[in-house]
Amino acid sequence: MSYAAQLRAVRACYGFSQPALAPWLGLGRAQVASVETGREPLPAHARPWLRPWVQALAEAESDALPTPASTAAPAATGPAPVLARVAECHYQAQRLGQQLAALQAAHRTAARRLAAGPLLLAALPAPAADEAPALALRRRWLARLLEEAADALAPEAPGGPVAARLLEARRRGYLHEAAWLLAGL
């Protein structure tokens, strides 16, 4: 796999924008874009910093986004107010399902970043008193990345696992209400 393909795969799997990954590689955003499109090769000084991400990518489990169950309103006949409420319940369930899928995708990205942490930490040499500024920048970048990933997965986080469970409960509640209304017709 070419460096351009590896870079695209790493960015896609770990949810990085070009400017977000550039400091770790020691490149500018425009240079990352040029490498990704194949206009220029990956500079030799950036290759060792891409390698741990590629190793983590190889170890990452391939997980597909779960498709929320269909929430399309079934065709039914009955009083217009009841049918309108059934349609509203299905609409809300679909909307919440989309929010839930996005939240779950964010959780998977955070979990992948945390799982890559040990490989990335191993790629950094032991801290030294006269550490180069580029190395210190990578160390801070990685610490911030891992902290943000851990925060995203914390139960008390606004978009954490508890929020995902609450979204799923609300989605199921709407579906249950719609099924109950249709059963009474």
What are the pLDDT digits (tens) for 44-96? 999 999 999 999 998 885 554 455 555 566 677 889 999 999 999 999 999 99
CA distance 114 to 164: 19
Q: What is the pLDDT of residues 130-162, one digit of tens each?
A: 888 989 999 999 999 999 999 999 998 988 999
- Domain limits for position 73: 69-185
Asked if residue 90 and residue 34 are part of one domain, the reply reads no
Asked if residue 77 and residue 50 are part of one domain, the reply reads no
Number of structural domains (the chain) is 2
CA distance 131 to 141: 15
Asked if residue 50 and residue 89 are part of one domain, the reply reads no
Instruction: For 2, list phi and psi in degrees, rounded to 5.
Output: -70, 160
User: Model confidence at 20, in pLDDT bands (50, 70, 90)?
Assistant: very high
Task: Supply the DSSP symbol for 20.
Answer: H
The burial of 99, by beta-carbon neighbours within 10 Å (0-12 exposed, 13-18 middle, 19 or more buried), is given as middle
Q: Which of 10, 39, 60 is the last residue of a domain?
A: 60
Instruction: Output the pTM of the full model.
Output: 0.80
High-pLDDT (> 70) share of the chain, % = 92
CA distance 31 to 52: 20
